[in-house]
């Protein structure tokens, strides 16, 4: 099984998913000597993944670009190229480009290159 984002499969995948860490905010306490620390939750830093998927025709590829852009602001499940699965990943941004292929050995005639801006959260 290949890489997937929200159930969409990809032919190629580049990028890594960073580990989770506690987000801590330090606040200076007014009128006292010292600081307080507030635990803001466990999350990863924002990261970028680049994907490529092949399609039978350019119409399908353009439709897939629209589908990807509709995922902005939603939580999805992600499976990387190594087969590791991650839940509760928010899609911060998507930049997709569909183009025609001149020659392909598997019969596909179009491809979609996509750059995903993602962040893991809890």
pLDDT per residue rounded down to tens, the chain (122 residues): 579 999 999 999 999 999 888 878 888 877 777 777 787 777 788 999 999 999 999 999 999 999 999 999 999 999 988 889 999 999 999 999 999 998 777 878 999 999 999 998 87
3-class secondary-structure state, position 33: coil
Q: What is the DSSP letter of 67?
A: H
73 closest CA partner among 97, 94, 53, 52: 94
3-class secondary-structure state, position 12: strand
pTM summary value: 0.81
CB 90 within 8 A of CB 119: yes
Q: Report d(CA 39, CA 18) in Å as an integer.
A: 19
For the record, the structure tokens of 86 come out as: 């991650």
């Amino acid at each position: 099984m290949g890489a997937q984002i929200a159930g969409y499969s990809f032919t190629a995948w580049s990028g890594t998913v960073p580990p989770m860490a506690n987000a801590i905010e330090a606040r200076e306490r007014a009128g006292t000597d010292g600081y307080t620390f507030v635990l803001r939750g466990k999350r990863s830093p924002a990261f970028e993944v680049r994907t490529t998927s092949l399609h039978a025709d350019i119409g399908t590829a353009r439709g897939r670009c629209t589908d990807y852009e509709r995922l902005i602001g939603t939580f999805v499940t992600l499976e990387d190229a190594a087969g590791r699965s991650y839940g509760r990943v928010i899609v911060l941004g998507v930049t997709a480009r569909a183009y025609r292929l001149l020659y392909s050995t598997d019969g596909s005639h179009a491809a979609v290159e996509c750059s995903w801006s993602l962040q893991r959260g809890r």
